[in-house]
Amino acid sequence: MKINWGTSIVIAFVLFMSFILYFVFKVQSDSKYNNELVVEEYYKHDAHFSDEFAKIQNAQDLKEKPIISNTIEGVTIVFPKTFVPKEIKGKVSLYRPSAKHLDFECPIQLSGSKLLVPKADFADGNWDMTISWSYQGKEYIMQQKLYIQ
């Protein structure tokens, strides 16, 4: 039996669609491929975007901003000397884009004007850090991308 070019194109399309569908079903059904949401309750989170934007703007407007550095011991956050350390309240949220189960938060508990998040708390790779704090009734948010080795 001789196959003409029209039949060959149809066979090629069918094989290609089968190949694509196989991988779609494999990714959806296999637990090793994690396709979770970035933010739970997306619409609730989005409703507070303008408040969050105002806090980010407050942090941008600071003359002296907190300094984030990646050291051998871990991630160090140094607040400016103009802040009284006892009056700073907030948390540091660390988000791992590739694995939600590695995400964690820690409260801001300063030693002097420094906060150290130990390297043992991190897995190697990319991290998104969000520092949210309040000082003298004003709220701030600062975001930073980190690479931990």
Question: In terms of residue numbers, what domain contains 83?
Answer: 46-148
The total of other beta-carbon atoms located within 10 Å of residue 136's CB is 8
Do 7 and 63 fall within a single domain? no
Q: Please give the chain's pLDDT, 149 residues, in tens.
A: 688 899 999 999 999 999 999 988 888 777 666 656 566 666 666 677 788 889 999 999 999 999 999 888 889 999 988 888 889 999 999 998 877 788 889 999 888 889 999 988 888 888 899 999 999 999 999 999 998 88
Do 73 and 116 fall within a single domain? yes
Cα 130 from Cα 146, distance rounded (Å): 11
Cα 20 from Cα 32, distance rounded (Å): 19
AA identity, residue 49: F
Cα 123 from Cα 145, distance rounded (Å): 14
State the first-to-last Cα distance of the chain, in angstroms, to the nearest integer. 61
Phi, psi of 80 (to 5 degrees): -60, 155
Do 100 and 50 fall within a single domain? yes
